[in-house]
Structure 1
């Protein structure tokens, strides 16, 4: 199973519970009963539901992925999870517990996007076969951005994916043109010459600037895969 953790945070007060959890088991009778679908419950209600569900299905909590004060049921593991919370509310701790549980499952894999490198420091294990995709990390697996760009359209797609165009007045292509001129002129200044290509071939200047912007987009961001 592939776990993809994108934007995550903590919201411990509420939990979403599947309708099947209400089946006449002690601990579930005082929980609201919708006609269909899922519903929102308080943390204490969610805890009672989890405990009753584990007992009814004879599930071992140690085999489940923790989520706050409860667990992710096996049939819910492939669904999206969004954890929301303010600074200091415990978002990172919840994510660490989730990753630690996934780490205990040798047959499962994970793709982790780690902007500040915190999860890489905790979970990256090259002896296990983990792979880092970051052209600016010495431990990376030789990923060269230039090797993925053979045509102009590939450079455009890569740059657009990493650095989307700005929105609003002065955004979009105007920002790109200004950036291309800045890239070219700064390069000319370092050489002590005037680079006329910014005026003669705007496309060439834009391509060079895209490559630099793509590099900045990757700087400080690590993606590693657990084999």
Structure 2
């Protein structure tokens, strides 16, 4: 029986986008709700502001992720095109270059040469993309996947404090939104840590701290403007 380990690094791309989307959805929407509520506005105005923030935030996340990851993809494609041209024009030199890479990783010169020859016979561009440039199937940029993941998870995250604001009595809206938002953030941090194999308590504490800071600052600004009005 072949022994295998279950690694998690292949989840980095979609996990990063999903966690960032949900975290931003919770933090930005709860902060917006608390800031507007602190300015002594009606519950209907608070809900309107929250819904507007959800739509704008989801579209911003999708556009930002798509543009960012597309730029990464363009760079990867340009590097692959350079490598493809080099293989067409200087195949033997590229083979020597790949063998030299394997030598630096500990292979004997003759073995490194044999490995380079066999890998390039099978997939020359793939071998150079992986071992010279560092592009693999798990790390390759996927703009559409990142955009959809961020927008979807942002929407889900933003809906949570919105639902609390809709359900909460007006007199308890601010403490309940703050409390439940911190619990949502802790749960999100724990889930992300569990999927990624990281320490759960550390991840949950981290997202709660930054979420609480964002909500506190926005609440203070809303309260200040409410008093001044």
- Whether the TM-score (by the shorter chain) exceeds 0.5 is no
Q: Tell me the TM-score normalized by structure 2.
A: 0.26
Q: Which has the higher contact order (CA 8 A, sep 6+)?
A: 2
Q: Tell me the TM-score normalized by structure 1.
A: 0.26
